[in-house]
């Protein structure tokens, strides 16, 4: 996980939570991404990847706003 200490002290707790969730999103995307790579993806795999990416985009934006 990335280091939250580079964020202002007032935002470190939230930064840690965001970074942990981004790591969890990365792990959750492995299986559906593998299905896509192998050409065996279902619509559910694609939906899961899209949902996870939308969440990750929002979290990355929030993290940038915390002012590292």
Q: How far is CA 26 from CA 8, 30, 31, 33, in A?
A: 25, 7, 10, 10
User: 7: left (phi > 0), else alpha (psi -120 to 50), else beta?
Assistant: beta
Q: Quick one: average pLDDT of 24-45?
A: 98
- What pTM does this model have? 0.89
What six digits make up the tokens of 30?
């492995």
> What is the domain range of residue 20?
10-65
The percentage of residues in the chain with a pLDDT greater than 70, rounded to a whole number, is: 97
* Residue 10: exposure state from Cβ atoms within 10 A (0-12, 13-18, ≥19): exposed
Does position 68 have pLDDT exceeding 80, yes or no?
no
Q: Domain for residue 23, yes or no?
A: yes
User: Does a structural domain hold residue 52?
Assistant: yes
68 within 8 A of 14, measured Cβ to Cβ: no
Q: Is residue 45 part of a domain?
A: yes
Structure confidence at residue 1 as a pLDDT band (50, 70, 90): low
* pLDDT number for residue 36: 98
Per-residue confidence band for 18, with pLDDT thresholds at 50, 70 and 90:
very high
């Amino acid at each position: 996980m990335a280091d939250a200490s580079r964020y202002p002290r007032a935002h470190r707790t939230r930064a840690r939570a965001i970074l942990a969730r981004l790591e969890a999103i990365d792990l959750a995307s492995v299986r559906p991404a593998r299905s896509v790579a192998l050409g065996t993806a279902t619509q559910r795999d694609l939906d899961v990847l899209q949902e996870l990416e939308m969440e990750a985009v929002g979290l990355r934006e929030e993290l940038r706003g915390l002012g590292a």
